[in-house]
């Protein structure tokens, strides 16, 4: 994306000194094709960062005139904490403003013996309150475990015959050490774990799986996979590279492969809820919760043909934390794969768990370095004191704990009339 932005900024047209021109003169120059709107930041802000707002203001005005709609998206806080400088060429292009999203907080909630407070960015009334109610019921604490860790990228190549595709698959399986060395040479923190090939006729889908330290890791996987393809080409010069992604990764799409094999962090959180807490705090009973979860989340989702949707609303919690902490919100699709389970213990108490096989998170890169998002991560105890990979695992475990609280609260509300009452009060 940075390379694309550089190309846009390297216009062949004569550069006009914009710093002393009025907004109207600059807009007239853009309309006449003398300068590109993409060049606004590049030219206006060379020696004056305060002109970032001017660039955004002019661009917003242009789009307002083109659309015929008198919209006014906020821009006034762009200069605080060098915010615009942080997003330029990194997080967004063609910027016309920003959208404020409320951030709520849940907690205290104890996860792996640590008392936590977790931010949730959302516009859905009752979500934070509901999840916080689940936190109150989890007074015995939550245990969370990362059982697998590995981001994936799946290039697509093909050959002129099925026989040649099979020969290629066999070679990949027999030369993992060579490709691991090649992949790992491109990254300081990445480590290739496995390569699996899926064949469809003459097409081969190569699924690289690697740990990525504290980064979510898509760029790391892309770079390493590309280097491996260069190495493979030496042995298979007839290989045609069709795409760096063949969709068996799978990124930002629902898929059984992520549900079964995992992607990113595979996490399980569990808790034991005292039957008296279920009665007095959640206003329901253990048997009702178990029956509802079975018939709604397991049978109902099966009838719907759901992939990874064996839960009440895991995506609600995950997406709100993703937005608050600078994750890629589009990855809520795979990350929200979740199975919620309830079981009655011999003493009558409730054992609850949520299994999240493909939670795609990072604590460096993307939007995690932006001021507000960075503070939300800090609020969750994410810092630089852990070994590489420790922070992203910590984040994934805290997200799983919040999901467990959200599931417990909503399912309890569904056994009574509390859900509709809360939404009529808080979400209208």
The partner residues of 72 in beta bridges, in order of sequence, read none
Q: Which one of the listed residues 214, 328, 360, 407 is annotated catalytic?
A: 328
Upstream peptide bond of 130 is cis (omega within 30 degrees of 0): no
Q: Which one of the listed residues 196, 223, 252, 351 is annotated catalytic?
A: 252
Phi, psi for residue 336 in degrees, rounded to 5: -85, 5
Nearest to 217 by CA among 372, 2, 392: 392
- Distance between CA atoms of residues 428 and 424, nearest Å: 6
* Contact residues for 46 (Cβ-Cβ < 8 A; gap 6+): 19
Is residue 423 annotated as a catalytic residue, yes or no? yes
Q: Which one of the listed residues 93, 114, 124, 231 is annotated catalytic?
A: 124
Range 9-17 contact pairs with CB under 8 angstroms and sequence separation of 24 or more: 9/38, 9/39, 9/42, 11/35, 11/36, 11/38, 11/39, 15/39, 15/43, 16/43, 17/43
* Contact residues for 22 (Cβ-Cβ < 8 A; gap 6+): none
Is residue 124 annotated as a catalytic residue, yes or no? yes
Is residue 351 annotated as a catalytic residue, yes or no? no
DSSP H/E element including 87: helix 83-87
* Contact residues for 419 (Cβ-Cβ < 8 A; gap 6+): 410, 413
- Enzyme catalytic residues: 124, 252, 328, 423
């Amino acid at each position: 994306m940075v390379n694309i932005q550089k190309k846009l900024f390297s216009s062949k047209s004569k550069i006009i000194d914009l710093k002393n021109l009025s907004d109207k003169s600059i807009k007239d120059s853009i309309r006449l094709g003398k300068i590109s709107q993409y060049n606004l930041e590049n030219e206006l802000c060379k020696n004056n960062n305060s002109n970032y707002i001017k660039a955004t203001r002019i661009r917003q005005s242009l789009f307002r005139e083109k659309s015929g709609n008198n919209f006014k998206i906020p821009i006034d806080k762009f200069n605080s904490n060098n915010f615009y400088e942080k997003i330029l060429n990194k997080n967004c292009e063609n910027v016309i403003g920003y959208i404020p999203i409320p951030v709520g907080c849940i907690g205290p909630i104890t996860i792996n013996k640590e008392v936590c407070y977790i931010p949730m960015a959302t516009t859905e009334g009752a979500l934070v309150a509901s999840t916080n109610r689940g936190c109150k019921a989890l007074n015995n604490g939550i245990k969370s475990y990362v059982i697998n860790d590995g981001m994936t990228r799946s290039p697509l190549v093909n050959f002129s015959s099925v026989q040649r595709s099979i020969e290629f698959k066999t070679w990949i399986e027999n030369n993992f050490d060579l490709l691991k060395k090649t992949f790992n040479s491109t990254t300081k923190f990445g480590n290739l774990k496995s390569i699996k090939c899926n064949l469809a006729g003459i097409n081969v889908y190569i699924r690289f799986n690697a740990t990525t330290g504290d980064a979510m890791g898509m760029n790391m996987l892309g770079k390493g996979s590309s280097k491996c393809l260069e190495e493979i080409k030496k042995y298979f010069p007839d290989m045609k590279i069709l795409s760096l992604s063949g969709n068996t990764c799978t990124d930002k799409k629902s898929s059984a492969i992520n549900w079964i094999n995992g992607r990113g962090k595979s996490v399980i959180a569990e808790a034991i809820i005292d039957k008296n807490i279920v009665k007095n705090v959640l206003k329901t009973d253990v048997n009702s919760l178990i029956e509802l979860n079975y018939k709604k989340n397991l049978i109902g989702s099966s009838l719907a043909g759901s992939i990874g949707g064996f839960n009440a609303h895991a995506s609600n919690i995950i997406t709100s934390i993703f937005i608050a902490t600078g994750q890629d919100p589009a990855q809520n699709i795979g990350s929200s794969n979740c199975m919620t389970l309830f079981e009655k213990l011999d003493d009558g108490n409730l054992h609850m768990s949520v299994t999240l096989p493909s939670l795609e998170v990072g604590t460096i890169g993307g939007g995690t370095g932006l001021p507000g998002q960075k503070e939300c991560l800090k609020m969750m105890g994410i810092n630089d004191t852990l070994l590489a990979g420790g922070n992203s695992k910590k984040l994934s475990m805290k997200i799983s704990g919040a999901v467990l609280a959200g599931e417990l609260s909503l399912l309890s509300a569904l056994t009574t009339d509390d859900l509709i009452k809360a939404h009529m009060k808080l979400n209208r």
